[in-house]
């Protein structure tokens, strides 16, 4: 599939805490890095997102006495999975994977920095109302089709894909350049939602 100046790559949360050995490791998450490094130079626009949580973030199970990681609670904006403490601002776990080539990125977008609300999507906080500003940036850069890679397929990647569709972008998921948590069937549900919404599923070797 040929790329044009209207194509943008969004790389979701390729950070140490989401890779093997990290606080919220996604199996084989580090295998995404060389694929992203290979394809990123082909895009006119590349955006890296970075989870950037304060230590008191309300999505952390540790901040809810007696709550177990991966349990769920009701928040004002809906159901919230309680995660292990991860990607805390200024810690090594929040850094990008050391092998990720970041110098060619046009924008690094930090999300999840508001302590009272989580942020999976690159476009909105989890209330689906508070924007990150990414849609405006991409529009101003002339991007019409976004390609998604990163971690994790069934949470931050899929939420970003659905929100990109809502903003009118054509959306392509690079399936081999993503990895999933797969929490109680979350991967199957996310793939079904993306396909039904119109996300095209492909692989990095299909890039012309």
Which residues are known to be catalytic?
13, 111, 156
Please state, in angstroms and rounded to a whole number, the distance separating the CA atoms of residues 193 and 150: 18
What the block records as the tokens of 204 is 């990095």
Task: Give the up-direction half-sphere exposure of residue 48: CA atoms within 13 A in the CB hemisphere.
Answer: 21
Residue 154 makes CB contacts below 8 A (sequence gap 6+) with 180, 181, 182, 183, 186, 187, 189, 190, 191
Show the 3-state SS of 119-146. CCCCCECCCCCCECCHHHHHHHCCCCEE
Classify residue 76 as exposed, middle or buried by CB count within 10 Å of its CB (0-12, 13-18, 19+).
exposed
How many Cβ atoms are within 10 Å of 28's Cβ, its own excluded?
Answer: 12
Neighbours of 47 (CB within 10 A): 22
């Amino acid at each position: 599939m040929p790329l044009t100046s209207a194509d943008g790559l969004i790389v979701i949360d390729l950070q140490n805490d989401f890779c093997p050995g990290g606080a919220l490791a996604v199996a084989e998450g580090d295998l995404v890095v060389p694929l992203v490094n290979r394809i990123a130079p082909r895009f006119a626009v590349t955006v890296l997102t970075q989870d950037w949580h304060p230590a008191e973030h309300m999505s952390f199970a540790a901040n809810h006495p007696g709550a177990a990681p991966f349990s769920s609670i009701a928040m004002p904006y809906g159901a919230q999975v309680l995660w292990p403490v991860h990607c805390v601002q200024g810690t090594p776990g929040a850094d990008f994977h050391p092998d990720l080539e970041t110098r060619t990125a046009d924008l690094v977008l930090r999300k999840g920095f508001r302590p009272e609300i989580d942020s999976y999507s690159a476009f909105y906080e989890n209330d689906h109302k508070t924007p990150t500003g990414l849609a405006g940036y991409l529009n101003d850069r002339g991007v019409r089709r976004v390609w998604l890679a990163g971690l994790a397929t069934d949470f931050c990647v899929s939420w970003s894909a659905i929100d990109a569709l809502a903003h009118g972008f054509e959306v392509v998921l690079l399936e081999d350049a993503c990895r999933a948590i797969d929490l109680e069937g979350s991967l199957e549900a996310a793939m079904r939602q993306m396909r039904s919404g119109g996300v095209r599923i492909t692989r990095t070797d299909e890039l012309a």
